Structure 1
Amino acid sequence: MNIETKFLGQVEIKEDEMLTFEYGLPGFPELKKFVLLSLDADLPLAVLQSIDEAQVGFVVAYPFLFKKDYVFDISDEDKEDLKIESEEDVIAYSIVTLKETFPESTLNLLAPVLINKNKKLGKQVVLQDNAAYPLRFPIGSLEGSAK
């Protein structure tokens, strides 16, 4: 199946690559189907692209590559919504707000996007301890291996 994307033009995807976000994403509750598309094999970034709306795509990053001590608990409700059976089922991403120069860009560590890679289910969650991580964490200050 071919889809139009925000950043990559027309892209061919397979049915088994589609992710279902039962609740949509904040600001986009009507959009339920997304796909993760790699931007570049050498970059720790991807695009979380809506299947149904070409102009809705979010650059995401694997936050643990940038912030080694990033840890959080997943609530029982979120585990149930995502049908998580074990920790290995889940991949977490942070939405990136891109700036003119990449080091000025920020990661949203407060509300990670969780994906059950086995069940192809996704959900953006707001962490319970709101003070632990900011909404806009500067990438330039991150200490991980991706810097």
Structure 2
Amino acid sequence: MRIQTKYLGEMEVDHHKILQFPSGLPGFTNEKQFVLLDMPRNPVFQILQSADTPDIAFVVVNPYHFYQDYVVDLDDSLLVSLSISNEADVIVLAIVTVKKPFDTSTLNLKAPIIINSQNQLGKQYILNTDVYPSKAAITSSVSTAVKGE
């Protein structure tokens, strides 16, 4: 299927790769279908693009790339709602708030995106803890390494 994207123009997307978010995302409850797109020139980051609304797209990243000690405890209701039975099937992503300069950008570690890679079901999961902030820093040393400088 062809979709119009916010950052990459019109693209062909395999309909099997469409992620279903039955509850939408907080603030975007009507957006139920998304696709993960690779970010050109920077494989660390991806774009979570709405399949229906071109202007709705989020830059996301695997938070473990920046925070190796990050821990997400998924409750039973989330495991059931996403039909997660194997930890290896879980993809965890953090939404990035991109700022200029880039090293002032932040990651939302308080509300990661959880995806079951086997059935393409996803949900933004708000952690019931104050251990992780919604605006975690991307440090200058990490961002430099990411940019390949």
The interval holding the TM-score normalised by the smaller chain is: over 0.9
Give the aligned partner of residue 134 of structure 2: 135
Q: Normalised by the size of structure 2, how large is the TM-score?
A: 0.92
Are positions 1:61 and 2:55 aligned together?
Answer: no
Q: Which residue type is aligned with residue 133 of structure 1?
A: Y
Instruction: Tell me the residue number matched to 2:2.
Output: 2
Contact 1:66–1:146, Cα closer than 8 Å, also in 2 = no
Pairing 1:109–2:109 present = yes
CA distance in 2, matches of 1:142, 1:93: 21
Change (3 A) 1:143 1:27: same
Q: Deviations over 1:26-66 (max 9, x none)?
A: 00001100000000364310000000000000000000011
- Superposed CA deviations along residues 98-134 of structure 1, whole A, max 9, x for unmatched, are 00121110000000000000010000000111x1100
Aligned to 1:125: 125
Q: Is there any run of 5+ residues in structure 1 with no aligned partner, and where?
A: none
2: CA distance between counterparts of 1:70 and 1:98? 20
| Corresponding residue number in structure 2 for 1:46 | 46
Give the distance between the partners of 2:42 and 2:54, measured in 1 at CA: 25
Distance 1:110 1:37 in 2: 23
Stretches (4+) displaced over 4 A: 141-147
Number of aligned residues: 146
User: Partner amino acid for 1:138?
Assistant: A
Could you list the per-position Cα deviations for residues 55-95 of structure 1 after superposition, in whole angstroms to 9, with x for gaps in the alignment?
A: 00000000001111101200101111110011011000000
**Alignment-mate amino acid for residue 134 of structure 1:** P
Q: Distance in 2 between matches of 1:58 and 1:122?
A: 14
